[in-house]
Structure 1
Amino acid sequence: MNTPQRPTALIAEDEGLLAENLRQELAKLWPALEIVAMAPHGQAALDLALRHRPDLCFLDIRMPGLSGLEAAAALAEDWQEGPGAERPFPLLVFVTAYDQYALQAFELAAVDYVLKPVQPERLAQTCQRLQQALNQRQAPSQAASASDAPELQAAVEQLRRLLGAPQAPASAASPAAAPLRLLQVSVGNQILMVPVDEVIYFEAADKYVRVITASKEHLIRISLRELLPQLDGQRFWQVHRSLVVRSDAIARAVRDEAGKISLHLHGSAEKLAVSRMYAHLFKGM
């Protein structure tokens, strides 16, 4: 007779005392729950979740680097890659100090939350909901489809609503500021003037962004998150958390048998991957 596997969880919280308090409260309320990782920031939460593939993730909303929402969205993009991709997407609980308006948004998006500092009574309700959800996943009728794409797609849709991602390409630039037209790129003791209209795509590279044109590649010291609001969202589409493509450089979007989309560019053999978070941008008319 097989012993039932213990449910597993990850806690992501940059304040050590709060993280430990949450771990201790969970140990009291749910002794069978195994905490497999404690992440001090959003990038660590993403990396550890992909390594351990937990059943649950408790994510602090405000963390250094990636926020809890951004880490969850990145996790949804990467979940079906690598070892453990067959496991169902983790149930998400956001730990937040947001006001009532934000809490209503979480409820409407069907994502659970707990307020900081965590109250045992509220956390007990969350644990009960999570246990019920896990039991439903483990039911015989659900076991075969636990890792099916529709469940992950539902999580993606929830996260997109929470992040406020547009449903169609829309201007990401502030209405009060004209979109960026010229990049000043440092090369040795020179500063090159690169028209933004010549850029085929931008790709995040740690603290830099790779700028790809038809003839050259440049590196600029700015994060993609900082650059994106300065671009014309009608022309430049974010298709992955690390990739922004000039829309008229795209020749076609191809969906494979697994439902993954790749972009083929005009005059290039290069193909760019589109994440599930942005697949909604490519629908035939």
Structure 2
Amino acid sequence: MSVTWTDDAPPPPQRRLALGDWLRVARRGGAILVTLMICFPLLLLLRVPERALFGLNRPVTPWITQAVCVLACRFMGLRRKVIGQPMPQRGAFVANHSTWLDIFVLNAGKRLYFVSKAEVAGWAGIGWLARGTGTVFIRRDRRSEAAAQTRMFEDRLRAGHKLLFFPEGTSTDGRRVLPFKTTLFAAFLSDRLRDILWVQPISLHYHAPHGADARFYGWWGDMEFGANLLQVLAAPRQGWVELRYGTPLKVSDFEDRKALARAAERAVRAGYDQGRSPDDGGAKGGTRSTKSV
């Protein structure tokens, strides 16, 4: 079981879909599906010679993943407002986590590799896509595997991969940033990495379609992925998301993982607050539960 976030207030009621909504679902979802059917087999095909020639380095296939995510956002009608630039230094990104849409939004802005809980690898369809695009799977509650996971992070980061972590450990309703878990930050401070690595905070802030609940894009608690996907695809007009790249943090400037995690959390919170609209309101509370999503 994995820890997920739940709120005292129930999720917004799902809108009953009319014929026009289903037509939007078919148009948008169909375009995304066709793109995946063309590009994903191509990625897998190119990965064979790419692995033979370059090993861990992937100079070609991440461009395909990025192109698919750019197109997916366009097909859905979700506008992206990007502030700042991805860092050129070797290192990793950390971001707040609101929804499954984060995968498309973040990958559209930069060629990167996600770090995800191991359960995702077994999810139908999604797990297959995640494995093919180079996602790093971890078991957060397996201390016996911590050393092996650290070595895996080291190998990927030293190969020039940009890894992306969600230190909150769960998605939310999109109206808050949860306290960061510090465990995964320990890998950045290993002897092989601390002097060459940077960590860049990224803040994501979703703005709901006009007239919709402010939590429209959030995905949390017991919300079903399929139902949430349909609501997003059926929206007559989408909202937008602000993606803000913060100032990179030099790992060697911090004495331990907790200090690094605190600095990254402060930066993500600051960027999130800068993206807040007057109608977003405040958001406090919520709890973590052990329900699977």
TM interval, shorter chain, is: under 0.3
TM-score (norm 1): 0.25
* More helix as a share of residues: 2
Question: Which structure has the higher relative contact order (CA within 8 Å, separation 6+)?
Answer: 2
